[in-house]
Structure 1
Amino acid sequence: MIKTKHWLVVAVASIFLAACSSKDEGPRHAELRSITTEVTASEVWSTRVGIGQGNHHSRLRPVHQDGVIYVAGRHGAVAAINAESGRKLWSKELGGRKPVFGRYFGGEPARLSGIAVAGSMLFVGSENGLVYAFNADNGELLWEQKVPGEVLAAPTVGEGRVVVHLGSGIVAALRARDGEIMWTHEEEVSLLSLRGTSPAVINSGGVIFGSATGKVVVLIAENGMLAWEERISVPTGSTDLERLVDVDGAPLVWGGNIYVSAFNGDLAAFDLRNGEVLWKREYGSWRGPVQAVNRIVLVDQQSHMISIDRSNGMELWRNSDLFLRSLTEPAVSGSYLVSGDRFGYLHWFNRSNGELVGRYQVGDDRIHGAPVIVDDKLIVQDAKGNVVAIRAQGQ
């Protein structure tokens, strides 16, 4: 019998699970309420890259280096933008489809999924099983490499390697200068899984990532051999949906420890050297934890913003005012945490107590990825391909 892997779009799955746990007559998501405003915001510049992603869930998010913003669109657009002015420095189109008056016709869609920049090179992954490398200064295509699976998370660059975690369960390391595959490691995959994979983290000679079966895995970066793996969560529940334990967020490596969260599962802390479990707490999330000065902040799968003591996992505060609005991971901006939602809003939280203190509507379209902080601006990309620079006052 042929087994088929089934994907669930993660945003839909998370909303569905949260809604099922509440009364049918309850609200489907939090409505915005009046707040005591400490932070106000205004647009500095905006531009557009590509035509957006349509009905596809995408994790595309800008990246920044040396005053330049690099952005990709799902259908094939890749661009470099001056962070101060919003002026495009160069742009390219990938894939068999070409834009004509704002629409793409014929050919194979590029299905771009994530980008990373390091030094003079920009790396772009595709769900078509391709990794591209560009000259970051002028957009020249340097190489492209076929890999054994869909690239669903942004590539990770370090120690002369580009590491991609594929939908097939394979982790592949490519030589950065020419794209040659140096090693691969294959993980077990689930028959039912969220549509996504955990981005890898390269740290202390290891490649660290989460699996679709609820584990954190550390490989030796030099050769891809397994250093250790530990389970975060065990599937429980009466339905396939309730038994999902995917680790789709990026692990947080901090102070010799790894912090990682699982959908329908736990937030856990591990010793990076040997995988010893330091603590576990019941915070299910498909997003990764974020370092916020001396604390961990996590957006759980009901879109509760939670501040956690990293030494013991104890909850310090929780804000549930924006439940089921599909909050992004927060960006740390001064004394505040900034998160986007699926209705096109940015929200500012007081970092010390979690109070909502600011709000700005970027547009009407979903914001999938956390804002990128560049000097005094926040850079946001929405589902239509709009890239907007926001400046906040009061922080």
Structure 2
Amino acid sequence: MRVGGERWAGPQSPTPGFFGPAESTPPVTANGRIYTAVPGTNSVVALNPDNGEVLWQQTHHKDDGVSGPYNRPAVDGGIVFVTAWPQQVTAYHADTGDQHWHHELEEQTVLPPVATDEGVVIPTRESVQLRARSDGALRWERNLDGNATDSTPAVANGTIFVADEQESLHALSLATGETRWTAPFDGKTTPVVADGRVYAVDSRWALAAFDVATGAKQFEYRPSEVPFSPPIVGDGTLYLANRRQILALEEA
């Protein structure tokens, strides 16, 4: 077997537009399939991981040039949950691609969803919503007076951890949306929760760690080279990547 060779190529983006190539969206694997948005289009697809075959494809606003592509999907319990600018929140059956439910929101910036047992967490520019998995009905909405355009929340132990991209990182109750704590934090982030801590890389390119229960900052790490990726955690070690290397951090 040749290592590093291309095995297959899936759906291709159209010709680059005025602003250059479309940004790619991270795929999600579940149920033996790959679910992903197709860059530069308004489509989300399910792919066969063995050969890249398109098993189903759904497209919103086919004839609307001002609409936007889907965000990274969330897949759970046989349902694919997706959001898209300007106001789309949709659930599709993972096996067939048939629409399960669809809602148009008032907020025009809708960020990637997170699927939980309690419901689907939908972050927007200013707020966070929880919607029912069964029909997308709104369970609660919490306005954070934010300006979030490029963050994704983390959910763990019944708590949502989300940045407002203004000046704070919030811990909200998954069940009610009530604030559990708020900590000073600058910029966009994709937090990671592990070992009783919330790890987040801020717009100043520093890694901060907060206590899950209280929000107290436990440490901050500033590397010699930036920017660097969100962390992953394994066996008590934090792994991050910057422009030229992979970093492994452990508690002193």
Give me the TM-score of the superposition, normalised by structure 2: 0.85
Report if aligned partners of 1:303, 1:322 keep a CA contact under 8 Å in 2: no
Uncovered stretches (5+) of structure 2, i.e. residues with no partner = 62-66
Report if aligned partners of 1:247, 1:261 keep a CA contact under 8 Å in 2: no
1:331 to 232, 247, 251: 232
- 2:11 aligned residue: 94
1:141 to 54, 59, 75: 54
Report if aligned partners of 2:181, 2:214 keep a CA contact under 8 Å in 1: yes
Q: What's the offset of the Cα at 1:330?
A: 0.4
2:244 to 344, 348, 351: 344
Report if aligned partners of 2:131, 2:138 keep a CA contact under 8 Å in 1: yes
Answer with 1 or 2: which has the greater Rg.
Answer: 1
1:92-241 correspondence runs (5 A): 92-95=9-12, 112-126=24-38, 127-148=40-61, 149-189=67-107, 198-213=111-126, 215-232=127-144, 234=145
The alignment partner of 1:91 has SS state of coil
Report if aligned partners of 2:44, 2:70 keep a CA contact under 8 Å in 1: no
Aligned residues: 242
Q: Distance in 2 between matches of 1:277 and 1:289?
A: 17
After superposition, the CA RMSD in angstroms is 2.6
Give the direction of change, closer, same or farther, for the CA distance of 1:96–1:277 in structure 2 (3 Å limit).
closer
Report if aligned partners of 2:118, 2:174 keep a CA contact under 8 Å in 1: no
1:314 to 213, 216, 229: 216
Q: Deviations over 1:136-180 (max 9, x none)?
A: 233222111102443353111112211112121321111212212
Runs of 4+ in 1 over 6 A off after TM superposition: none
Q: Does 1:267 align with 2:169?
A: yes
Give the direction of change, closer, same or farther, for the CA distance of 1:308–1:151 in structure 2 (3 Å limit).
same
Q: What's the offset of the Cα at 1:262?
A: 2.0
Give the direction of change, closer, same or farther, for the CA distance of 1:280–1:97 in structure 2 (3 Å limit).
closer
- 1:284 aligned residue: 186
Report if aligned partners of 1:151, 1:164 keep a CA contact under 8 Å in 2: no
Q: Deviations over 1:247-280 (max 9, x none)?
A: 6332211111111112123111111111111111
Q: Which amino acid aligns with 1:314?
A: A
Give the direction of change, closer, same or farther, for the CA distance of 1:111–1:264 in structure 2 (3 Å limit).
closer
Could you tell me the percent identity over the aligned residues? 24
Q: Deviations over 1:283-312 (max 9, x none)?
A: 123112111222111111101111110111
Q: Deviations over 1:61-103 (max 9, x none)?
A: xxxxxxxxxxxxxxxxxxxxx9xx84558312423769xxxxx
Report if aligned partners of 1:114, 1:152 keep a CA contact under 8 Å in 2: no
Uncovered stretches (5+) of structure 1, i.e. residues with no partner = 1-81, 99-103, 236-244, 354-395
